[in-house]
Amino acid sequence: MLRIKEGELVHLIDRKGRRYHILLNAGSSFTFRHGTISHDEIIGVEDGSVVKSCYGEKLLVFRPTLAEYIGKMRKGSQIIYPKDIAAILMLADIFPGATVLEAGIGSGALTMALLRAVGTEGKVVSYERRGEFLKIARSNIESFFGTVESAGKEGSGELVVKEKDVYEGIDDKELDRILLDLQEPWRALKHVEESLRNGGILLCYNPTVLQIYKLSKRLELKYAESFRVMGIYEIGMRGWEVKGRSIRPEHRMVAHTGFIFVARKCAPVE
- Domains of the chain, earliest start first: 9-63 (3.10.330.20), 67-265 (3.40.50.150)
| Mean per-residue pLDDT pooled into runs of 10, the chain (270 residues) | 89 90 93 90 94 92 94 85 96 98 94 96 95 92 92 91 95 97 96 97 97 96 94 94 92 91 87
Predicted confidence at residue 154, as pLDDT, reads: 85
Predicted confidence at residue 233, as pLDDT, reads: 97
Q: Identify which of 93, 97, 113, 103 has the alpha carbon closest to the alpha carbon of residue 264.
A: 93
Predicted confidence at residue 150, as pLDDT, reads: 87
Predicted confidence at residue 162, as pLDDT, reads: 94
Predicted confidence at residue 82, as pLDDT, reads: 94
Predicted confidence at residue 270, as pLDDT, reads: 63
Strand pairing category for 240-243 and 246-249: antiparallel
Long-range contacts of 146-153 (CB under 8 A, 24+ apart): 147/7, 147/8, 147/9, 147/23, 148/8, 148/9, 148/63, 148/64, 148/69, 149/2, 149/4, 149/5, 149/8, 149/63, 150/2, 150/47, 150/63, 150/65, 151/66, 151/116, 152/116
Predicted confidence at residue 155, as pLDDT, reads: 85
Predicted confidence at residue 1, as pLDDT, reads: 61
